[in-house]
Amino acid sequence: MSGTAAPEGVSIESRDGVLRIALDRPSRKNSLDAVAVRRIVAALEAAATDDALRVVVLTGNGADFCSGADWVAANSGAARPRTGSLQRRVPLQAHRMIELLRQLQLPVVCAVRGHAAGLGFQLALAADFTIASESACFWEPFLGRGFSADSGATWLLPRLVGVARAKELLLLGRKLCGADAASWGIIHRAVPDDELDSATAALVEQLASGPTVALGLTKQCIHRSLETGLAEAMQNEAFALELSSRTADFKEGLLAFKERRPARFTGQ
């Protein structure tokens, strides 16, 4: 995968094992229209089979991470959409994007400054590690606009913060700053605004130098365990162990332990 320009509001670049997806519509607070979502979906689908990649990074250019779906663009046409239009399109667009972020057997890091609202909030929830500036704003504005939440909000939030707090965010529209989002367990951590880039870079470097196959399989086991019992979870762990123990990184890990040195994983 190679670097591309951002005519559709998304910059996608792959370099040194890192796929960087930057939302790039600062004038619209990086809101996502259907074209941008399709580009992100295509990039994530390609990443799933790209053996050179070791981590995915989501960022937003400008003052905000993402203000959500671009409803202005979606409803600017003169013709009224057919009944059921949203029900047909959303599963293949925004919902597909969230599913891919969670299914992808690569760690996903999300860096948030400014607003992460609606779909932008769900992108942060779906990432494996979200780092935000302390002044960031996480917000589910759906009910205030007269419609219900989508993009996995009603599934992701209760599992992270419990039902009571999920209702506070979704039904009452409470806004959370980055520091509160971290204290609630919604995101990995919050940092001072001027440390966001360096903190993100350090985490990306750590993940990119890790045992990629084992990381991806462990991520998969964690997510599957949310919907299984203990016996099935341990069965999934056994399959993951079988696969990860056949990697070059497993052999390197054992050798490094024997030689009492840091492991030098290659992701293979």
Find the CATH number of the domain harbouring 218: 1.10.12
Question: Residue 264 falls within a domain, yes or no?
Answer: no
In this structure, the answer to whether residues 182 and 90 fall within a common structural domain is yes
Contact 7, 47 (CB under 8 A): no
The pTM (predicted TM-score) of the whole model is 0.91
In this structure, the answer to whether residues 151 and 220 fall within a common structural domain is no
Distant-in-sequence, close-in-space partners of 240: CB < 8 Å, separation ≥ 6: 214, 217, 218, 220, 221
Task: Tell me what the mean pLDDT of segment 8-36 comes to.
Answer: 94
Domain end call among 208, 229, 251: 208
In this structure, the answer to whether residues 182 and 88 fall within a common structural domain is yes
Q: pLDDT tens across 80-133, in order?
A: 667 656 656 665 588 999 999 999 999 999 999 999 999 999 999 999 999 999
Structural domain boundaries, residue 242: 212-259
In this structure, the answer to whether residues 158 and 252 fall within a common structural domain is no
SS3 130: strand
In this structure, the answer to whether residues 61 and 153 fall within a common structural domain is yes
For the stretch 76-84, contacts whose Cβ atoms lie closer than 8 Å and that sit 24 or more positions apart, written own/partner, are none
* pLDDT, position 8: 73
Terminal alpha carbon distance of the chain: 18
In this structure, the answer to whether residues 197 and 226 fall within a common structural domain is no
**What is the distance between the alpha carbons of residues 137 and 117, in angstroms, rounded to a whole number?**
8
**What is the distance between the alpha carbons of residues 28 and 182, in angstroms, rounded to a whole number?**
26
CB atoms within 10 A of CB 68: 25
In this structure, the answer to whether residues 123 and 68 fall within a common structural domain is yes
Question: Residue 17 falls within a domain, yes or no?
Answer: yes
When pLDDT is cut at 50, 70 and 90, the band that residue 5 belongs to is very low
Domain end call among 208, 224, 240: 208
